[in-house]
């Protein structure tokens, strides 16, 4: 068994070396295919992080009337936390609100002097609410607009920002769905292109397959060397895809960071370089082996 396996690997390597130009062409096609795969992975990371950033920027604030006691506000906070749609709630007291306001406008002398002249705190206590999903804000708002809370609630920011929040929710949903469709389409195209390239490479050696069948070689022995060649194609293409994508990410990362400062694609690539290289090599090996097996089957059936 080991002798047969050794021969299959030996003939596979020999075939890879003998058809050097065809091997190079196939590797180039597979490298481009795997560049699509790694590009889709990075695109998925980028869109996921962007969506999460959009979600973090969406929230609603509930402002309470000045006569509403802190105990009443905290009671409403606890009741909101019991809603399954609510992710997190932050309570900001009147004193904290004034402190934040002063810090935010410390450079504006006019506003600072106006605040100092006032004898009372003009700001209201509030709750900042983040939902688990942007689509959940109407449910939370409906709860806050309840008749029982009207005597305590002064204003709900969602009522003023509903159009913006709804648009952001639509953008998040559209990006997620479009990204999945794009990944599926490009993955299918990439596999078909790679399969055709390997089938073309095997087509050039169809006479050898016929001769091997005439001398009584088994299907496994005939198919084996081509699968080995496919594995070599995929292994080399997997490494090359990372080698080519790295400088592209390095030079494009600053421009991406200008649009979304919180996302550093180059840092992500460096942090996950080993796992991404391993994934690319694995994808390449599977793609090459499966494509070779499918391609050579055509000639074994003749």
Which tens digits make up the pLDDT trace of 111-142? 666 666 666 777 888 898 988 887 788 888 88
How far is the CA of 25 from the CAs of 16, 188, 232, in angstroms?
A: 12, 20, 13
**What local confidence, expressed as pLDDT, does residue 294 receive?**
76
Angle between helix axes 219-259 and 20-57 (nearest 10 degrees) is 40
**What local confidence, expressed as pLDDT, does residue 163 receive?**
64
The CATH number for 59-160, chosen from 1.20.1050.10, 3.30.70.3040, 3.30.460.20, 3.40.50.1370, is 3.30.70.3040
- The three state secondary structure string of 101-163 is HHHHCCCCHHHHHHHHHCCCCCCCCEEEEEECCHHHHHHHHHHHCCHHHCCCEEEECHHHHHH
Please report, for the chain, the start and end positions of each structural domain, with discontinuous segments joined by +. 2-54+170-300, 59-160
d(C-alpha 29, C-alpha 98), whole Å: 63
**What local confidence, expressed as pLDDT, does residue 301 receive?**
62
| pLDDT tens-digit profile, the chain (302 residues) | 677 677 777 777 777 777 677 778 778 888 887 887 888 788 777 777 777 777 777 788 888 888 888 888 899 899 888 888 888 999 998 888 888 877 777 777 676 666 666 667 778 888 989 888 877 888 888 888 887 888 888 888 765 556 666 676 677 677 667 767 776 776 677 667 767 766 776 676 667 767 777 777 676 777 777 788 888 888 888 899 899 988 988 888 888 777 777 778 888 888 888 988 888 888 888 888 877 777 777 666 65
**What local confidence, expressed as pLDDT, does residue 212 receive?**
72
Whole-number CA gyration radius for the chain: 31
**What local confidence, expressed as pLDDT, does residue 115 receive?**
67
Predicted structure pTM score: 0.64
Q: In sequence order, what DSSP letters do the residues of 18-44 get, joined into one string?
A: HTHHHHHHHHHHHHHHHHHHHHHHHHH
Give the residue carrying structure tokens 């794009």: 182
d(C-alpha 287, C-alpha 40), whole Å: 16
């Amino acid at each position: 068994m080991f002798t047969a396996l050794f021969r299959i690997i030996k003939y596979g390597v020999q075939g890879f070396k003998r058809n050097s130009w065809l091997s190079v062409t196939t590797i180039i096609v597979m490298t481009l295919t795997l560049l699509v795969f790694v590009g889709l992975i990075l695109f998925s990371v980028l869109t996921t992080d962007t969506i999460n950033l959009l979600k973090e920027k969406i929230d609603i604030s509930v402002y309470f009337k000045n006569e509403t006691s802190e105990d009443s506000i905290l009671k409403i906070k606890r009741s909101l936390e019991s809603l399954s749609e609510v992710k997190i709630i932050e309570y900001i007291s009147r004193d904290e609100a004034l402190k934040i306001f002063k810090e935010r406008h410390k450079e504006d002398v006019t506003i600072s002097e106006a605040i100092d002249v006032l004898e009372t705190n003009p700001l209201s206590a509030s709750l900042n609410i983040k939902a688990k999903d942007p689509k959940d804000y109407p449910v939370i708002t409906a709860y806050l607009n309840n008749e029982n809370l009207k005597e305590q609630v002064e204003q709900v920011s969602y009522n003023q920002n509903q159009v913006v929040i709804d648009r952001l929710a639509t953008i998040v949903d559209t990006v997620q769905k479009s990204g999945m469709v794009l990944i599926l389409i490009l993955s299918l195209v990439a596999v078909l292109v790679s399969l055709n390239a390997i089938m073309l490479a095997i087509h050039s050696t169809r006479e050898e397959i016929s001769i091997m069948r005439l001398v009584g070689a088994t299907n496994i022995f005939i198919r084996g060397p081509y699968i080995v060649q496919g594995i070599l194609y995929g292994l080399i293409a997997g490494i090359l895809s990372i080698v080519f994508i790295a400088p592209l990410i390095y030079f494009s990362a600053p421009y991406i960071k200008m649009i979304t400062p919180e996302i550093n694609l180059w840092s992500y690539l460096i942090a996950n370089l080993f796992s991404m290289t391993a994934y690319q090599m694995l994808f390449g090996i599977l793609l090459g082996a499966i494509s070779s097996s499918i391609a050579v089957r055509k000639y074994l059936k003749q």
